[in-house]
Amino acid sequence: MEPRGLWGFDVTMGKRRAFDEIWGTGGRRRPRKELAELARWIEATPASELSRRQHAAEAAFRQLGITFAVYGDADAAERIIPFDIVPRVFLADEWARLSEGLVQRVEAINAFLDDVYGEARIVREGVLPPDLVFGNPQFRPEIAGMKPPHHVWAHICGIDLVRTGPDQFWVLEDNARTPSGVSYMLENREAMIRLCPELFRSFRVAPVDGYTDMLLQTMKSVAPPGAGSSPNCVVLTPGHYNSAYYEHSFLADNLGVELVEAADLVVDDDVVWMRTIAGRVKVDVIYRRVDDDFLDPLVFRPDSMLGVPGLIAAYAAGNVTIINAPGTGIADDKAIYSYMPEIVRFYSGEEAKLPIVRTWRCREPDALEYVLDHLDELVVKLVDGSGGYGMLVGPTASDEEIANFRAALVAEPHRYIAQPTLALSTVPTLGDKGVVPRHVDFRPFVLTGASGVQVVPGGLTRVALREGSLVVNSSQGGGTKDSFVLLGDEPEVRA
Amino acid sequence: MRLSIDHLTRYRFSQPQARIVQLLRLTPSDTDDQTIVSWRIDVDCDARLREGRDGFGNRTTMLYIDGPITGIEIAVAGEVLTGEVDGVVKGTLEPLPPALFARSTDLTRADAAIAAFAAAARGAPRAQLESLNTAFAKRFALSHARPDHGLTAAEAFARETATPRDMAQMFVAAARSLGLPARYVSGHCLTCEREAERPTTHGWAEAHVEGEGWIGFDPSFARPIDQTYVRVACGLDAAQAAPVAGSRLGAGREWLDVDVQVERMNGGEQ
């Protein structure tokens, strides 16, 4: 009964009903048995009450200032991301399998980064084509040969997953640069505990509030050898015009570290210092939320006023740790993504536990031909795009949009990949006329420090609020939900 | 051949600067073809200097100066012993594979005109490169004006004269448009700097031929690299191999003055 095919038309939208994570495939009268209690809660709580709680949560978010800016939308400089009151739930065994896959994948991502900026064995041994790595703008030759402490490059990864059935999880993309959204994971949970306390009595939900401690431990664990026993960490933001500024200040507050802009930092003698009223203070670890291009004008974009001159020299000298390390963008390029099964096998000797979605690399002529012939069925993405920008969803696109993408693909095929339109799972979501199924994706946050990889039991669930829509990005009208990870029966799982 | 190099870089500022941070690529590395006998960098004020290497394997010096400061003078003096070169550069530190140098940058993107110009070069890769190496000197009169640091290869190609920097960037763009990895090299040369009225750091190119290696070309003079050249730094374009990348904290204008003297020394023949 479940969609068996890994991809293709049997799980394609419109051909078969999507899997609902609470109601299953049998409709809302026969929910999945493990979640029958949650289904009863949805039925028993009047829509007006759900709506009241949802508005209370959104009012609190607005008061906190959890807003984001929408690029290209002059009317709405700052909005809150809509919040949905019905949680999304992972069973303990589902989560255990997912976590294993995430750990394996993030270990491979770090091994890959350490290799491509060093010996590049994976290219020499013919696993990846040289131009895919070295011709890629996300590969930064400026930092070749430099090694971050403990060989950790991508300390914070956001791995975007989608689900098509009870045990069918797929990685949709890896975010290894500066993934955002963790503040929503934490704020959504606080709101749920306040507004729906009964759910936390009915279910043993793994707490997520240990995230910031875990992050601080991770940051300190990768401090440079000369930093001493209490390394000084900071969060570097491009400033309050950035769409994720709220999250930058939220994280700095919760970590108990300074929030700084480039102008607050100086490099002297290959050491980074922070200017304070009391004089300058040495900085050991920088959690940067700015792109590589804006880190250091002497090495990257010379016209950038945002950067810290000398920062890369301090990094190369081993006097400061940059989180994530410069150059990690190569690991979240979507053409590289299509090789992740080979990358995992190359570094771990194992098969990837989390599959990827079938991907046509438009740089390859046969793939391009197939994609051009099936534009109305496929999702087409820029290899280095994010936020749902530069993306075509074939089944819901207009003829004009398809024609524009066709022209773009023919002109610059190497910039695009295409994937089948998956029947993303749905989760019951409060709409205007009661609770209805809406498509979701999921971004868990994976931390890597000196002693290994950790997965926070939770993450950011994004929901496409429009009926039938598959685009969950907040910049494109998506909302968020809390993500419950249920604890197993054995008490030791709590640890 | 034993060469002495004196390279003076002088910055003056119209208003005092609070802080200066500069990344210098002024120091050559030893290769099979050049041995650094002595090398020193002197700065005329209280500065902190730190040695390092960039991603391309170039030796770098970070320069940190606290203000207020209205000018800096960086004096480089050294001696280098060069050997016979057959055009192929050997013994360079190569942290990056040749494939990396097939990519273009904003400064070295080949437009249709450069690509068409390059396509006229026929034959095996090395023959194509040798023909490109004479083609630019034929087409452009060599200019000894100060190089314009913002000028792209495509913009330079639309002009009638070209500085060595532009000749080298055009060569790099053209070679890449033929599918051959190529890079910009900055350094010094005995004869070219002598010919210039206001000598400055020279620029040339290297292109990679499978089975042979990196081969040096000087399109400004339509000749291969020989023992009169001292190789200092390389990069995808002139900016990545630039002798100085600087930042200053302070308002006002700056003036840059550069002087280079390359002399042949006696008694260095081997």
Beta carbons within 10 angstroms of residue A239's beta carbon: 12
Q: Are A357 and A7 in contact (CB under 8 A)?
A: yes
What gap in Å lies between CA B229 and CA B85, rounded to an integer? 10
Residue of A133, A269, A298 lying closest to B23 (CB–CB): A298
Q: CB distance B102–A267 less than 8 Å?
A: no
**Most distant CA pair in chain B, distance:** 58
Lowest mean pLDDT among A122-131, A304-313, B32-41, B69-78: A304-313
Distance from chain centroid for Cα A358: 19
B96 lies in a domain?
yes
Asked whether residue B146 falls in the same domain as residue B165, the answer is yes
Asked whether residue B121 falls in the same domain as residue B252, the answer is no
Q: Does A26 touch chain B (CB under 8 A)?
A: no
Asked whether residue B65 falls in the same domain as residue B93, the answer is no
Please report the residues numbered 334 through 353 in chain A whose beta carbons come closer than 8 angstroms to any beta carbon of chain B.
none
User: What is the residue range of B254's domain?
Assistant: 2-81+244-264
Backbone angles phi, psi at B212, to 5 degrees: -110, -45
pLDDT tens digits along B88-119? 999 999 999 999 999 999 999 999 999 999 99
**Full-model pTM:** 0.92
Asked whether residue B258 falls in the same domain as residue B162, the answer is no
- Of the candidates B236, B245, B263, the residue with the CA atom closest to the CA atom of residue B109: B236
**A308-to-A138, A257, A373, B113 alpha-carbon distances in Å:** 20, 19, 48, 38
Asked whether residue B42 falls in the same domain as residue B101, the answer is no
What was the pLDDT predicted at A70?
52
B269 lies in a domain?
no
3-state helix, strand, coil in chain A (%, to 5): 35, 25, 40
Domains defined along chain A, listed by start: 237-319 (3.40.50.11290), 358-421 (3.30.1490.270)
What gap in Å lies between CA A363 and CA A365, rounded to an integer? 6
**Residue A20 above 50 pLDDT?**
yes
**Length, in residues, of chain B:** 270
Q: Are A221 and A449 in contact (CB under 8 A)?
A: yes
Asked whether residue B57 falls in the same domain as residue B144, the answer is no
- Of the candidates A238, A227, A302, the residue with the CA atom closest to the CA atom of residue A264: A238
**Residue B219 above 80 pLDDT?**
yes
E strand map for A36-81 = 67-68, 79-80
- Nearest 5°: the CA angle B232, B233, B235 is 160
Which of B25, B54, B63, B108 to substitute to test the interface with A, most A CBs within 10 Å?
B54
The 3-state DSSP class for residue B148 equals coil
Asked whether residue B93 falls in the same domain as residue B193, the answer is yes
Distance from chain centroid for Cα A468: 23
Asked whether residue B213 falls in the same domain as residue B257, the answer is no
Asked whether residue B128 falls in the same domain as residue B145, the answer is yes
B110 lies in a domain?
yes
What was the pLDDT predicted at A26?
76
pLDDT band at A78 (very low <50, low <70, confident <90, very high): low
3-state helix, strand, coil in chain B (%, to 5): 20, 45, 35
B186 lies in a domain?
yes
For residue A438, list its beta bridge partners: A427
Q: CB distance A135–B103 less than 8 Å?
A: yes
What was the pLDDT predicted at B230?
96
Average pLDDT over residues A344-353: 97
What CATH number did the domain enclosing B171 receive?
Answer: 3.10.620.30
For residue B77, list its beta bridge partners: B6, B40
Tokens 């048995």, residue? A33
**% of chain A at pLDDT higher than 70:** 91
Residue of A137, A302, A313 lying closest to B239 (CB–CB): A302
Asked whether residue B75 falls in the same domain as residue B129, the answer is no
pLDDT band at A16 (very low <50, low <70, confident <90, very high): low
Q: Are A114 and A150 in contact (CB under 8 A)?
A: no
ipTM: 0.95
What gap in Å lies between CA B44 and CA B28, rounded to an integer? 21
What is the residue-averaged pLDDT of chain A?
89
B270 lies in a domain?
no
What gap in Å lies between CA A41 and CA B162, rounded to an integer? 77
B30 lies in a domain?
yes
Chain A nearest CA to B258, separation (Å) = 20
Non-local (6+) Cβ contacts of B2 within 8 A are: B37, B79, B80, B81, B82, B264, B265, B266, B267, B268, B269
Residues in B closer than 8 angstroms to A309, CB to CB, are: 21, 247
Which of B17, B20, B21, B93 to substitute to test the interface with A, most A CBs within 10 Å?
B21
What CATH number did the domain enclosing B260 receive?
Answer: 2.60.40.2250
Asked whether residue B90 falls in the same domain as residue B76, the answer is no
Domain count, chain B: 2
R_g of chain B, CA atoms, integer Å: 18
Asked whether residue B213 falls in the same domain as residue B116, the answer is yes
**Residue A77 above 60 pLDDT?**
no
Residues in B closer than 8 angstroms to A267, CB to CB, are: 21, 64
pLDDT tens digits along A221-245? 999 998 988 999 999 999 988 888 9
Contacts of the segment A198-201: beta carbons below 8 A, 24+ positions apart: A198/A41, A199/A38, A199/A41, A199/A87, A199/A484
Backbone angles phi, psi at A321, to 5 degrees: -105, 130
pLDDT tens digits along A416-463? 999 998 889 999 999 988 999 999 999 999 999 999 999 999 999 999
pLDDT tens digits along B24-68? 999 999 999 999 999 999 999 999 999 999 999 999 999 999 989
